[in-house]
């Protein structure tokens, strides 16, 4: 079949699937915060963050990795240490993820001709989750290109980087003698790929990445949930000035939302986007405020998740919520632009974003005009 013919068939199948896809996607959209939808709509722009939980981009084994790739690599390695696995497990996982996606969280538009219209609709739901790019291989999604039809999990689960890594390790440890067989055999036993020998090519990259990221992963496994080492540089902010707390687009404003008060504003951004102090102040609290913060939360979970609160004096305070991790401690004095933590989805949240509040004598005020009066344009997409 020619390339033109294939495109025509895919277009026809997608049109056939669209009536079925729209109700599914519409229902899902009602459950996803605006921050997530904006992140999914503009993955390229939002994925350009210069720093992440794994630090800035790096050259590893002669290959250049950007900050987003390094953040996914750190997530994979940290998931391995959390299970008590050794570094070889992380090396196998990293080589696999690089071969499958180049360490990108890939959504899938459901356009593969191998899918039925119903399967295409379910697969396309991955577009409503944060992602770094688009794929169309069967129903494969995420960094490992795992398939919901093959029983790896639901689409929503598979679009969670932590779940994806843990799912890989669950199948890896079930492989007989996985600790001693060659990397490419271990990876292929999990993936059952049509290109089973390809993983060996990336073993040097995976080994070096593991060596770089393993110490931080071990610290994360040993430390309290939410507390992480600071690896991003602070922003240069003049003394006495205010600044944006994070990069990305403002996607949800202050006021009533879904029948209740939204006491701040939300910023869309990829997981691991650094969060900075909007002004100089004292750290009042840096802690998990929900039942758990070692994984993403949900709308059924109460609290801010990992929360940092700063006291700026004169009754003014700011809050930074849903963080995947924080880098400060209570009582610490921080300048404007100091690194506080990283965007996540802990607490009462269904997607990665920063919830930012300004409070005056305990009462929340709209951060947009507040910061506008101080020379900061929050609605701007510029960081």
Residue 248 confidence (pLDDT): 79
CB-based burial of residue 10 (10 Å sphere; 0-12 exposed, 13-18 middle, 19+ buried)?
middle
- Contact in structure between 333 and 65 (CB atoms under 8 Å): no
For residues 7-18, give the mean pLDDT.
Answer: 43
Is pLDDT of 333 > 70?
Answer: yes
**Residue with the larger pLDDT of the pair 229 and 383:** 229
d(CA 108, CA 126): 6
Provide the pLDDT for residue 232.
67
Which domains does the chain possess? 58-219 (no CATH), 249-373 (2.70.70.10)
How crowded is residue 28: how many other Cβ atoms within 10 Å of its Cβ?
A: 17
In angstroms, the first-to-last Cα distance of the chain is 47
Better pLDDT: 58 or 49: 58
Q: With beta carbons less than 8 A apart as the criterion, state whether 74 and 56 touch.
A: no
Q: Name the one residue in this structure whose structure tokens are 């699937």.
A: 17
Task: Extract the tokens encoding 319.
Answer: 């809050």
pLDDT digits (tens, 9 = 90+) for 160-200: 888 999 999 999 999 999 999 999 999 999 999 887 789 99
**Cα(234)–Cα(243) distance, rounded to whole angstroms?**
12
Task: Summarize pLDDT for 232-246 with one digit per residue, the tens.
Answer: 667 788 889 999 999
Q: According to the model, what pLDDT value does residue 217 have?
A: 78
Share of the chain above pLDDT 70, in %: 80
Sign of CA dihedral 228, 232, 236, 242: negative
Q: Return the pLDDT at 360.
A: 96
Interhelix angle 87-101/67-82, nearest 10 degrees? 140
Calpha distance 376→353 (Å, rounded) = 19
| Per-residue pLDDT at 227 exceeds 80 | no
Q: Which residues pair with 134 in a beta bridge?
A: 107
Q: State the pLDDT at residue 295.
A: 85
- Averaged pLDDT, 61-83: 87
What are the φ and ψ backbone dihedral angles of 130, each rounded to 5 degrees? -55, 135
The H or E element that residue 331 is part of is none
pLDDT tens track for 249-282: 888 888 877 677 888 999 988 777 889 999 999 9
Confirm whether pTM is higher than 0.85: no
Contacts with 164 (C-beta within 8 Å, 6 or more apart), sequence order: 142, 143, 144, 146, 158
pLDDT at position 94: 98
Determine the angle formed by the axes of helices 67-82 and 161-172, rounding to 10 degrees: 50
More reliable by pLDDT, 122 or 51: 122
- CA atoms of 166 and 82, how far apart (whole Å): 9
| CB distance 328 to 340 below 8 Å | yes
């Amino acid at each position: 079949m020619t390339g033109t013919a294939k495109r025509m068939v895919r277009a026809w199948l997608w049109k056939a699937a669209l009536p079925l896809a729209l109700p599914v996607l519409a229902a899902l959209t009602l459950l996803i915060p605006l921050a997530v939808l904006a992140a999914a709509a503009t993955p390229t722009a939002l994925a350009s963050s210069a720093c992440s939980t794994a630090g800035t981009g790096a050259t590893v084994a002669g290959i250049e990795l950007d900050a987003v790739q390094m953040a996914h690599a750190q997530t994979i390695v940290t998931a391995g240490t959390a299970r008590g696995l050794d570094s070889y497990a992380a090396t196998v996982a990293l080589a696999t993820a690089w071969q499958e996606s180049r360490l990108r969280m890939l959504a899938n538009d459901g356009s593969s001709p191998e899918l039925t219209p119903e399967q295409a609709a379910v697969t396309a739901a991955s577009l409503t989750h944060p992602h770094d790019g688009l794929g169309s291989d069967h129903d494969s999604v995420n960094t490992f290109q795992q398939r919901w039809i093959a029983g790896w999990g639901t689409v929503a689960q598979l679009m969670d980087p932590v779940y994806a890594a843990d799912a890989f390790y669950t199948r890896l440890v079930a492989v007989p003698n996985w600790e001693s067989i060659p990397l490419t055999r271990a990876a292929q036993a999990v993936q059952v790929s049509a290109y089973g020998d390809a993983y060996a090519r990336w073993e040097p990259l995976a080994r070096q990445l593991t060596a770089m990221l393993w110490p931080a992963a071990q610290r994360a496994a040993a430390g309290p949930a939410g507390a992480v080492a600071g690896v991003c540089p602070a922003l240069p902010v003049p003394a006495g000035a205010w600044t944006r707390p994070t990069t990305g687009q403002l996607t949800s404003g202050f006021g009533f939302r879904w029948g209740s008060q939204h006491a701040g504003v939300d910023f869309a951004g990829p997981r691991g986007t650094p969060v900075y102090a909007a002004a100089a102040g004292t750290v009042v609290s840096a802690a998990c405020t929900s039942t758990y913060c070692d994984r993403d939360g949900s709308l059924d979970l109460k609290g801010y998740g990992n929360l940092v609160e700063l006291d700026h004096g004169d009754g003014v305070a700011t809050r930074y919520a849903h963080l995947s991790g924080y880098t400060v401690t209570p009582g610490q004095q921080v300048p404007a632009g100091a690194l506080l933590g990283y965007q996540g989805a802990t607490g009462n949240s269904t997607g990665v974003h920063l919830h930012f509040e300004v409070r005056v004598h305990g009462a929340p005020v709209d951060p947009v005009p507040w910061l506008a009066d101080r020379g900061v344009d929050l609605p701007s997409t510029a960081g």
